[in-house]
Every structure is written in structure tokens, then in C-alpha cells.
Amino acid sequence: MKSSDEMVNSLLERRQAYLDEQTRKRKKYVRNTVSLCSICLVALLSFGAVQSGLFESKPPVTADVSGNSQEKEHSDAEKSDETALSSAESTQSDAETSGGVSAGEEDRIIWADSIAVGDTEGLVEQNGDWISWGLHIALKEASDTDIFAVFARPQIDGAYEHEGMRMEEYYLAMSEERNFPEKLRQLLKDGESLKYGEALYTTGTPDGEKWVKDFYDERTRYYGEELLNRYIVDGNFLKEQLENDIVVSESACDATLAYNEAVQAYLTALAQTLQGAYPAEVKADESGLLLFVTREQLASLTAETTAEWLFTLANRDGTPNDFVDAE
């Protein structure tokens, strides 16, 4: 098993190798792109010359052979080359930019897939929050200027309001929507018995079925008066209607979409309050945030503004590297 010093040296060597490779690729990209742009520029100028009749035998009406004309052509050519180089550098910058971080600054960011941290399983408690073991090791050996890409999964504030509803209300509605098909399927089994009402535990049904009162009370509370009245009318169990409604309920998603929208709004508002080396990004599909923070910035965050959050190193696609969900 590697010692702490050996693991740190391995981390630094892998990180430096990664940075050197990125620098080499960037230089090659600019060189190739500038060459391609120059070729395209020559081809474009040649095509324009042909279209304008420059190479036809017919002489031009006037000819300007003054020194000013030659200087202008030389200046225009230099400007064209400068434009091509600027365009190539701009294209490279756009390709390397991630999450609002400029290409020149991105090399400073440490991602999960750019370092090796050994065993990443487990969580470490810090100021009431939980940090993955991999991130803990990386932070422990970091310098004060190192910037880490950290995936944070916050606790959702149930009191947060979005469009007149609290988050806890959105969550309850979503849970009810997801559980509703199973409740209907259970009623499909109990409906023929429950249509007899209180007789089910007092005298029993005509075929001799009889329930204990406590069990009857528990089941009727579970279904609720509204649901029972919908499918049991005048002592008749509307089985066919219930079967049709089960099919419809299995594809219902309005409450889930509303909850996801509220979570997006909550995370967006939360991201604007967090301080880091670069602005935080919302990762709604993962119910989290992508932070760009130094060791001290993360320590300050866990000490002052969060409670029971989960933190881990982030991959370059913004996903968490090694989350272990705490129960």
C-alpha cells in the first residue's frame, strides 16, 4: 500500500502530465487551425479573382501603380492574416470554455478525472456536511491556490416558495402522483369487499367474508373517503372505471414536472449566493451544483452556509465522481 508521500507525489505527477498534454494539444490546435484558415483564405481570394475577371486577357480600364496602392495591398494582406489568427484563437477559446470559465483559466481547475486519489469510498464529516473520501484526500494535499471542480448536492429547503407553493408541497404532490397507481391497484383487490361498507366487519359479506374492525379502519383511512366514493357508488364497485384510471395514472407526470421545475428554480437562486473562484453552475438532472472553489472557499462554505450537504469531486461532464448517498 502506498504511503501518504508516495500517493501525493503520484497525484502531482499525474496532474502535471495531464496539464502538459493539454498545453501540447492547445498549441497544435492553434497551429493547425491557422494553417487551415490561411488555405481557405487563399482559396477564397482566388475564387473572387476569377469571378471578377482578374485573370481575363482584357486589360483593366485604369491601373493604379502608385506606392500608396502597393502599401494598401500589403496592409490588407496583413489584416487578413491577423483576422484568420484571431478567428482561430477565438474558435479554440470557445471549444475549451466550460461553465463560464475562460480557456486560459481552465487549466487551473482540478477535475476528478484529471487526478488519481486512490480509494474514494466513504464520507468524511465536516461542519455538519459530508465530503467524499476522494475529495477529502485531494483537499488535504492541495495548495491554497488550487481550484477544484466540486459537485455539491444540497438539502432542499422545504420552506422555499416557487410560484406560490412551498417546496415541501411540491414534493408531497409528486410523491402522491408516483404512489397513486399502486394505491389504485390495491383498491382493485379490496373494492369488491369494501363495497359492503361497515357490514364487512359487523355481519360479514353474503359469501362469509369478514374483516377485523381495526383492519377495516386502517384500509379505509389509507384509501380516503374521496377515493372510495369515486369507485364505490350505491353499493356497486366500479371495477372497469378503476382499471381504466390505473392505466391513465401510470403515465401521469404533471406533479413530477412541477417539482423538477421548482428544484431548478431553487438551485438557480442558491447558486447565485455561493462564492467561489468562478460562478456556480446548476446541474438539475443531478439535483446539484457544480462549484469551482479553493480549499479555503469550500471550508468557509461548509462552516457558514450549508447543512447536511454532500460534496465530491466532479467529472468534466459535471456529474459527481464518487457519491455515496447517506441514509
Report which of 80, 93, 91, 92 is spatially closest to residue 38, judged by C-alpha positions.
80
Q: How far apart are CA 209 and CA 193, in angstroms?
A: 8
Counting every residue, how long is the chain? Answer: 327
234-261 confidence digits (pLDDT tens):
999 999 999 999 999 999 999 999 999 9
Q: How far apart are CA 313 and CA 269, in angstroms?
A: 22
Q: Is the dihedral of CA 50, 53, 54, 57 positive or negative?
A: positive
Residue with cell 491601373: 63
Strand partners, 126: 129
pLDDT reported for residue 317: 87
Contacts 24+ apart (CB under 8 A), 238-242: 239/188, 239/191, 239/192, 242/184, 242/187, 242/188, 242/191
Residue 324 has pLDDT above 80, yes or no: no
> How large is the average pLDDT for residues 195-201?
97
Distances 317 to 2, 105, 111, 177, 271 between C-alpha atoms, Å: 30, 17, 10, 31, 18
The structure's pTM equals 0.62
> How large is the average pLDDT for residues 201-212?
96
Q: Specify the higher pLDDT residue, 169 or 133.
A: 169
Q: Is 59 exposed, middle or buried (0-12, 13-18, 19+ CB in 10 A)?
A: exposed
DSSP secondary structure letter of residue 117: -
pLDDT reported for residue 240: 97
259-311 confidence digits (pLDDT tens):
999 999 999 999 999 989 999 999 988 899 999 999 999 999 888 888 889 99
Q: How far apart are CA 274 and CA 152, in angstroms?
A: 11
Q: How far apart are CA 260 and CA 266, in angstroms?
A: 10
